[in-house]
Amino acid sequence: MVVGGGVIGLSCAYFLARSGCEVTVLEERVMESPNCSTGNAGMVVPSHFIPLATPGVIGQGLRWMLKPESPFSIRPSAKLALWRWAWQFYRACSPSRVKAAKPILRDLSLASRTLFERLAEEEGLEFQLVQRGLLALCKKEETLRHESTVVDQGRVLGIDAEVLDSKAVNVLDPGVTMDVAGAVYFRQDCHLNPAAFRLELIRRLEEMGGKVHWESKVTGVEHAQGRVHSVSTADGNAWHADGFIMAGGVWTTTLGEQLGVSLPMQGGKGYSMTLTSPRQLPEICSLLMEARVAVTPMGGKLRIGGTMEIGGKEGVINEAKVRGITKSVPNYFPEFQASDFEGQETWTGLRPCTPDGLPYLGRCPGLANTFIAAGHAMLGLSLSPISGWLICQMVNGETPDVDVSLLDPGRY
């Protein structure tokens, strides 16, 4: 029984069904309803081997908070959970914890990338996977200098990255004009259509006999003697199973309360907009480094996305943040205008952000038949196949291919 029909829950369901398990997914929303897994930037990013919680990020965040259009903010709240999370985040920003997190993020990302390739090439899932790398575009020389230090760190970990000057960047992707000082080219990164990927997981899951029950919000968990016996849904039904996976994105914190495990998370709200007829269409996805905006070609369309509003509410649109995203695009792509995005529908999603930037992946403490798969923050799409695969291995009593000890759901 998988609770949550986002990309993480569906990936768990997919691999479990493929391994021969009888799988049911319970999802609160209807199938067509967006969640964080549908409108994101669609990037698969081995380049993101540095966790969100890093030394220096708090100072930068505080400076950004003074500017309404900046890419980061914390929604002021009197809630104790937010302030506790902020303290845990601060504690995680130490050099030793970041050093420990990097290899696991690298291992998860590279393994996940391989699985995406297999899903597309060997298992026939169609989700527009493009393996052309990612450009971290730097408007300023100073940013490019800083990013080259990331290249050095990446190379130590086996990440394929190269610094390019402005001319080389434009030669690499001639379909779009870029006005930048240069870029870091991460060759192993890729991009895809996240909504298509989610639909393909559902299609294949159902072909394998799995079931997804929409409009089924889990409101209660019944557990005794170290096992969960059933979950109940808002419509009054009780659902029994041999094993349970809790994969409800940022809302897994609430499920954790019922399981007796503390899974601190805050929603990191972001926005995206998709141009159906963009003025130019890059072939390579990019990050606008100073603006923290992601730009992804998807079929003939172009998606831009960004902003991290900690504690943000889903669906509520902060126009200043959206302006900050749209205004940044012409700075890097001079053929575009901010007005290109006027009248475009704005999607919002809540990234499930743990305090230390690492997901919760593994057995729920004290409950032999229950597993947690949540908290992937800005990497949920990227890490979805490997998360599903590792959960499948753990459920089936196998040793996971990647050491998941740092991802222990009991760590808080």
Ligand X SMILES: Cc1cc2nc3c(=O)[nH]c(=O)nc-3n(C[C@H](O)[C@H](O)[C@H](O)COP(=O)(O)OP(=O)(O)OC[C@H]3O[C@@H](n4cnc5c(N)ncnc54)[C@H](O)[C@@H]3O)c2cc1C
CA distance 314 to 35: 9
Q: How far is the CB of 217 from ligand X (least distance, A)?
A: 4
Q: How far is the CB of 219 from ligand X (least distance, A)?
A: 7
Q: How far is the CB of 316 from ligand X (least distance, A)?
A: 13
- Would you say how long the chain is, in residues? 412
Q: How far is the CB of 278 from ligand X (least distance, A)?
A: 18
Beta carbon nearer to ligand X, 54 or 145: 54
Beta carbon nearer to ligand X, 81 or 168: 81
Beta carbon nearer to ligand X, 35 or 193: 35
Q: How far is the CB of 141 from ligand X (least distance, A)?
A: 26
Q: How far is the CB of 189 from ligand X (least distance, A)?
A: 10
Question: Buried (b) or exposed (e) across 240-264, using 16+ Cβ within 10 A?
Answer: ebebbbbbbbbbbbebbebbebebb
Q: How far is the CB of 38 from ligand X (least distance, A)?
A: 7
Beta carbon nearer to ligand X, 171 or 286: 286
Beta carbon nearer to ligand X, 335 or 408: 408
Beta carbon nearer to ligand X, 144 or 372: 372
Beta carbon nearer to ligand X, 61 or 335: 61
Beta carbon nearer to ligand X, 31 or 62: 31
Residue numbers of the site for ligand X (CB under 6 A)?
3-9, 26-29, 35-37, 40-43, 217-218, 247-249, 251, 255, 270-272, 294, 305, 349, 351-352, 374, 376-382
Q: How far is the CB of 383 from ligand X (least distance, A)?
A: 7
Q: From the centroid of its chain, how far is CA 305?
A: 13
